[in-house]
A and B are shown apart, each in its own frame.
Chain A
């Protein structure tokens, strides 16, 4: 990836975090920690990797995306609005409000959203069905699904891993947003996945580890995944929960679902701006 392109996408990821904060401040609720950890994954997919746009929303050869960790919907809405699926102002002003279509989990009545999610452990099995269906038709597209690491305690996730390995779905790429925190504490305390790499590999998957908050590393991982011809790929995206929001919120389980107060808001915006400036000065 060209340096200028990388810097452009890194800056975009930071700007979209501001939209996320605005949505959450206006609505008074949202899953800000996971929104921030997953942002580079979404930006890399939507602005560099996937064959998708509002014009192609019904094209059978489009790439498919499922946000299995549906609670990170604020970052998803911010990305889709930027991509042109719906107006940015509308989502920021009406998110989670009475009667809004911008529900607190993905709503497939909105353009650009393939399936409803929110109940964890559904996205991977659904994506297996999408990838299997496309493969049976001989389509050349790819299916992407993003899960949280806390989500991996759901047994249905492993049913999905098993089936994708069994059917050698090389057109399927799963990302685990490995921020190692969930609502009650660290994932290792709640339900450990210390050997996640080996666990997934043993289900017949190609596994790649990458810094999930690095556009460049995620892009390389997605490129590598495309070269695999006989198995699905899982990218363990090692991330920091709250990444980009600065010390006030980074790596803190309590920010899983936290609405910043005015002071915290300013600190987050300042941290985002400082990071943007550092990128610009690179």
Chain B
């Protein structure tokens, strides 16, 4: 099992590039430890800014720095950066079109034990609703590195959510089929007659891949889409992959509104209607527990996907 969380992959990637690009700056709201950004702050103090526990200030200062040519990476727990400083993200980043990359760490229910105040099950919906804001949920450390490298090359606003814990590797050093704003496609049992598409993002991609092989051996062709790009949403790949499928399953660490599932349902219904099963966190206070325990409770896991496929009685 991989021990490197995606947040650490962000720090490593930024450190690698900050050596030569002195305009890269990291800003934290007393969150450098949680963000795994302590090594960056230690090695590049001149490219680091601490703003204290003040997320609104964090985002506005980042926007100001971007306006004078800096490339700010702005770190705070996803629950705070996505909603406490929502207006700053809307006005100072998206509306003013500043090159700020908002990094929501410990996203979703990473802080499962800490209560709803520390959960970010609304961030995809909130951030996606802002014009000129892009939204990304990378699945593993390799994809996270590729994503950050791509973001370093552009000058547009973006929100990236990563979880707190290490995620199982999906890709490898030698095999990272990454294309910016395009879902990555995995295919299992292509010759089988019954067909299922599973669309996942973030930590849920590894769960989808786990079951895909098992289902393919039982006669179901499974396509998994790693839809790390929530906005712009890769509708083209989804539409291409849903031809002749029996059921589409979406699975996400997010509330059932305005996230991956809502996007999937909207694209599927407009293009090639078929049954869509949406797997998400409930519209309720999430039960207390470690994130794995919480995922298991709501069956946001491999087992839950299999159950849903069986329920649809497509065999």
- For A130, give its contact among B54, B57, B67, B91 (CB under 8 Å): B67
Among the listed A118, A130, A136, A162, which residue makes an inter-chain contact with B52, where contact means beta carbons less than 8 Å apart?
A: A162
Inter-chain contact B91/A122, CB cutoff 8 Å: yes
How far is A131 from B67 in the complex, measured between Cα atoms in Å? Answer: 10
Q: A163 vs B51: C-alpha distance in the bound complex, in angstroms?
A: 7
Contact digits for B98-111, partner A, Cβ 8 Å, 1 yes 0 no = 10000000000000
- Measured between beta carbons, the chain A residues less than 8 angstroms from B79 are none
CA distance A163 to B27 in the complex (A): 13
**CB atoms of B57 and A125 under 8 A apart:** yes
Q: Is B164 an interface residue (CB 8 A)?
A: no
Instruction: Report B127-147 residues with CB < 8 Å from chain A CB.
Output: none
Find the B residue at minimum CB distance from A125. B60
Chain A, interface size category, equals 20 to 34
- CB of A108, distance to nearest CB on chain B (Å): 6
User: Given the interface contacts A119-B91, A122-B88, does A156 sit within 8 Å of B65 by beta carbon?
Assistant: no
A125 and B64 contact, CB distance less than 8 A: yes
Interface residues of B in 94-122 (CB under 8 A from A): 95-98
Does A160 sit within 8 A of B, measured CB to CB? yes
- CB–CB B67/A129 < 8 A: yes
Are B64 and A163 interface neighbours, CB within 8 A? no
Is A54 engaged at the interface, CB distance under 8 Å to the other chain? no
The chain A residue with its CB closest to the CB of B60 is A125
A156 touches B61 (CB 8 A): no
With A116-B91, A126-B64, A130-B67: A159-B57 Cβ-Cβ less than 8 Å = yes
Cβ-defined contact, B96 with A108, below 8 A: yes
Contacts A115-B92, A116-B95, A122-B88 given: A132-B57 contact, CB under 8 Å?
no
Smallest CB gap from B98: residue in A: A115
A121 to B46, CA, bound (A): 27
A130 touches B64 (CB 8 A): yes
Report Cα–Cα, A156/B56, bound state, in Å.
6
Q: How far is the CA of A155 from the CA of B57 in the complex (A)?
A: 10
Per-position 1/0 for A105-141, Cβ under 8 A of B:
0001000001111110110011111111110110000
Question: Residues of B contacting A162 with CB < 8 Å?
Answer: 52, 54, 57
Chain A residues whose C-beta falls within 8 Å of the C-beta of B46 in the assembled complex: 136
Which of B66, B70, B91 sits near A118, CB closer than 8 Å? B91
Residue in B25, B56, B67, B96 whose beta carbon sits within 8 Å of that of A125 in the complex: B56
For window 29-74 of chain B, which residues contact chain A by CB distance below 8 Å? 46, 49, 51-52, 54, 56-57, 60-70, 72
For residue B63, which residues in chain A have a CB less than 8 angstroms away from its CB? 115, 126, 129
**B96 partner, pick from A116, A132, A133, beta carbons under 8 A:** A116
| Interfacial residues, chain B to chain A (CB-CB below 8 A) | 25, 46, 49, 51-52, 54, 56-57, 60-70, 72, 87-88, 91-92, 95-98
| 22 A-B pairs with C-beta separation under 8 A | A108-B96, A115-B63, A115-B64, A115-B98, A117-B91, A118-B91, A122-B92, A125-B60, A126-B61, A128-B57, A129-B65, A129-B66, A129-B72, A130-B65, A132-B49, A133-B67, A136-B70, A159-B51, A159-B54, A160-B60, A162-B57, A163-B57
